[in-house]
Chain A
Amino acid sequence: MMLQLSGVHAHYGHIHALHGVDIEVQVGEVVTLIGANGAGKSTLMMTIFGQPRASGGRIVFNGEDITRLPTHEIARRGIALVPEGRRIFSRMTVMENLQMGAVLGEEMNFEVDLKRMYLLFPILEERCQQRAGTLSGGEQQMLAIARALMSRPQLLLLDEPSLGLAPLYIKKIFQIVRELNREHGMTILLVEQNAHHALRVAHRGYVMQHGQIILAGSGRELLANPEVHAAYLEGGHAATAA
């Protein structure tokens, strides 16, 4: 077991955002978390990093209890996050953003990893001396993913990577998720509002509602589930088409 959350609670001020969440991610899996806006998906991702800190329950990564560790120590254990809204350093150059991502990596790996990122996202090489804030939304998302990968994480958390992107970029993002997993064996936890795409790429999925997991199953099962279909897929389709 790579990541295991058991009975995790979290509060944002007075708001009780997570009500005892249990999820697991195995080595080599793509696991997706779907649910409506405000269901607590992003909170869950941030709670894994202690932002906010879990107010109850346990988070175990590779056998170690990381529930009370400081945020940077959790990252050092080998988890990287592509956060909601990308949060790239807009006033720094593309290259500097990648260097920031590589802070945890070995110095000698930097050039190799940089080449790998340029291969995966050729646009970043063209723009490497440009300020990251001048990139388009899709390019910023590529940068956020590349920045996360620069630390060579064991587990990659992706929070709504397709949100607000043009269909071409959405396709590219899911292609990359698949490629990272199938070809590089990367373990991925993917939060998505685009349930249709997410469930197709994922081995397993969880459905979240009001801070709780209400349904779990393989990607295929959830795709076929009529409840899931009614609540998340038709809406998801409409959103993709629009």
Chain B
Amino acid sequence: MALALQQLINGLTLGAVYGLIAIGYTMVYGIIGMINFAHGDIYMVSAFIAVTVFTMLAGFGISSVPLSLLLVLLVAVLFTSVYGWTVERIAYRPLRGSTRLAPLISAIGMSIFLQNMVQLTQGARVKPIPPVLVGGIDLLTIDGFTVRLAYSQILIVFVTIALMAGFTWLITKTSFGRQQRSCEQDRTMTALLGINVDRTISLTFMLGAALAAVAGVMVTVYYGVVDFFIGFVAGIKAFTAAVLGGIGSLPGAMLGGLLIGLIEAFWAAYLSAEYKDVATFSILILVLMFRPSGLLGRPEVEKV
């Protein structure tokens, strides 16, 4: 019972992170119909930016946790969105209008490039950060097992909820959100109304990267270590979350992220911690085989 509760907390935390990354996949898929396989590595780059800035701040003697978190978030979001913009500009935009496979291959190339760039400049070893947010609340103890809610978990869940609320508002209520959605439906028509579609696509990439950046910072705070390969695994899991929720659907990405996080946490606790990735990938295969539109994917019922 206590273990289940603990894994529920851990799973929700993990799921929040996957959900944030999954939004980037689903938005880019929605607008240009490609899977941005470099997205996981954008998240990894953000984690490294976080490590660098945390270390610098510690060097300057800034010890206030809220202040250093805020600064790291700002810098990470800023730089990572620039990465997102650049990747789209040099690796995908030149291929727009070519075959569907071309940008996919380019994305995998970009992913390999980013991993190697970070490996070369930062080294292949695991990088630790000085502990930022330690401690937590002991909720209850059953049979000597204490259920613990870490402060970093509270932070992750709250930041994620706030971001998702803000993001939903942006997409459903603002002019940019409408342009983003209209591009998803009909890019030519959107351009005919005088909207710069390339700019909207660039902003979508930057927005996806910004959310992945927040996820990167959160994970750095949560685990305290990063390496150049974390983007690959987290990327595929977030991609699975996006597919499970229904690729192209924003609520789907959030829901899919939570489910994948929970499934992974419970699988690790009750079945096998070593094979927890197998759970995620089996889900990916099963969803693709039996329900490719995902849980909240939209069935097309429209009058013509």
Contacts and interface: CB of A to CB of B under 8 A. Distances in A.
Q: Do the two shown chains form a genuine complex with each other?
A: yes
B181 A103 contact: no
A136 B303 contact: yes
B189 A151 contact: no
Given A92-B182, A96-B178, A133-B303, A104 B194 contact: yes
A76 B191 CA distance: 10
B247 to A, nearest CB: 16
A76 B185 CA distance: 21
Given A75-B191, A75-B193, A101-B193, A89 B303 contact: no
A187 B191 CA distance: 21
Interface in B107-142: none
Given A87-B186, A96-B178, A133 B194 contact: no
Contacts of B186: 87, 89
A72 B303 contact: no
A89 B192 contact: no
A175 interface: no
Contacts of B192: 49, 51, 71, 75, 80-81, 83
B194 A151 contact: yes
B173 to A, nearest CB: 10
Nearest to B200: A72
Contacts, number: 73
Contact of B181 (A76, A91, A104, A135): A91
A18 B287 CA distance: 47
Contacts of A70: 191, 196
Given A89-B186, A133-B303, A136-B303, A72 B179 contact: no
A89 B193 CA distance: 12
Given A87-B186, A87-B189, A89-B186, A72 B181 contact: no
Nearest to B194: A75
Contact of A92 (B175, B178, B195): B178
B188 interface: yes
A12 to B, nearest CB: 13
Nearest to A51: B188
A72 B185 contact: no
A151 B192 CA distance: 11
Given A133-B303, A134-B303, A103 B193 contact: yes
Contacts of A87: 186, 188-189
Contacts of B196: 70, 72
Interface in B145-186: 175, 178-179, 181-182, 185-186
B302 A99 contact: no
A174 to B, nearest CB: 23
B197 interface: yes
A170 interface: no
Given A89-B186, A92-B182, A103 B195 contact: yes
Given A51-B188, A83-B189, A72 B178 contact: no
Interface string A33-46: 00000000000000
A87 B183 CA distance: 12
- Residue of A75, A135, A151 with most partner-chain B CB within 10 A: A75
Given A72-B196, A89-B181, A103-B194, 11 more contacts: A71-B192, A72-B191, A76-B194, A87-B188, A89-B182, A90-B302, A92-B181, A134-B303, A135-B303, A147-B193, A151-B194
14 contacts: A51-B192, A72-B197, A75-B194, A83-B189, A87-B189, A89-B185, A91-B302, A100-B190, A100-B193, A100-B195, A101-B193, A104-B194, A135-B303, A140-B303
